[in-house]
Structure 1
Amino acid sequence: MAEDTAPRVTFGAWPTPLEPAPRLARALGLGAGDLWLKRDDLTGLGGGGNKVRKLEFLCGAAVAAGARTLVTSGAPQSNHARLTAAAGARLGLDVVLVLAGPAAGQDLGAGNVALDGLLGAEIVWAGEADAADVVQQVVERLRGEGAEPALIPFGGSSATGARGYAECGRELLSQAPDLAQVVTALGSGGTMAGLVRTLGPERVLGVHCGAVPDPGAAVAALVPCPAEALRLRLDQVGAGYATLTEPVKAAIRTAARTEGVVLDPIYTGRAMAGLIAAVTEGDVRAGDRTVFLHSGGLPGLFGNEPAMRWAGAGAP
């Protein structure tokens, strides 16, 4: 299906702003006019974030198919799950979220989990089971109840969801025709894949966040581009997806204290740490216009206890 005729609903206000970040640029060793922020944290729906672009197409397809319930999965502090709940509320659809791990020990009043409840989603905790298996069980149960469920893929990442970031690439070309590269967090792959589809692999740098075991394969599966042609940084995961590393702390602190921009510890913090490393190594150079995609995720910061303790102590 051609991208301009794909079923779609509208959740966000487009285009999102492209803002200069001169103080951050100088702090990283770039020229004052070299670094710009694509503010996809300001997409509006449910607290904002990059998943809104994907969900416009995914929910458009679900509505066109007659769905009455959306089902998806994610980590306990999943931004995608929170925004799927918001999308369902906007459309008048029920939402079931399958979140990894057990309910025991979860702080249900923190971050995205609290917002999931506020938005009216039903939460199913996967416990020791594989979340994908639990999702299938939920879908089968709902079908048996006549609920007509639509399965929204993990992270919103599919060929359909990637259309949202193919469109974002076109927005960027209209806002900054001379852009040299876009730096983005790489989670489930759909955001980077959509950007690569429009901008080409040479102009997109993805920073692996630990959400999938093979990030190159995840992106390549969604865009006609071999994995070896992609620009990837795999050095910011640290001990694992949920860990808060020293480079990420430094990146979050620098962005906050130079531009008043808040990043999260899992995605945008890692992406900024990857950008800092790329500048240090000469992969991102002064004189080139670089766009940092701020993909949102602020509620996840409030659900990350180590990050909140660190920030509350003055972010030393």
Structure 2
Amino acid sequence: MNQVTAIDLGSNSFRVLIYDCLNNKVLGEHNEVVGMADGLSETNCISNEAQQRVVDAINTSSEKLGYDPSKAICVTTAAMRLANNSTEVLSYFKKQTGAQFKIIDGKEEARLTLLAVKYALKREKINSSKFILLDIGGGSTEIIVSDEDESISHSFNFGIVTLTQKYDNYEDLNKELQAHKKDIKNFLEENSVDTKDYTFVATAGTPTTIAAIKLGQDFFHYDKDAVNGTKIKIKDLDECLELFRNSSTSTITKLVGRGRVEFIEVGVYIYKTIFEVLDKKESIVLDDGLREGVAINSCLLR
């Protein structure tokens, strides 16, 4: 078979992709919010409820897409890296579904995401020679600097879920984001990165949601082909924040999807912070990310 099934279990999202290696095409996909990091900052453990949501998501997606979880390439990231009970949780997943997850570190997560984004930029006919990639996750935020065939990356220990659960007011959230801004600036300066020479590219749920809203889409009418390559400006982020502040929960749920409502504002603030660090006026958004990278990497190894 010239196809692979890749599963990306993140801190908030569960994403499956069935990929055709010969033609570099997506044959099937499934996305679901599982909230694996819910309560993680307080207990340092993946809750039983979150574990059951993941098991249900694996079973639902395997039935929908017709794949065997035991043959899928399964990776998991920040939440599982942080959890004290990760070994027990992964054993439970394997016992219940057959899916065998590998915890990957920030460097490997960045490498695989970068691989997917490079493929996506070429597909969208966008210059991929020099760019800075932002990947906002639930438990971590990755910054990757790509210059031709060389790259450097850093995984910063903050994400939309962890920061949302940590703060209930903007003032305290902003203080932490300002501290992270200094850390990111230090990372760029230590590696002599002149940001004006690089295109700003963003992937993951927050950027794609902002792009979809800008295009007039909502969660139930999401068109990733239209989202890919969309340019986002800071004013688009401000307009989204204003929209979220003045809309009902049901309206926001329609726009961003169930399980994302409580996190989306923090995601926008993180996105805005990176805009400011990089001193950029616009960002190119791509839907492709870690799961696509896992699939492509597997194809290349065959």
> Normalized against structure 2, the TM-score is what?
0.35
Q: TM-score, normalization: structure 1?
A: 0.34
Where is the strand percentage greater, Structure 1 or Structure 2?
2
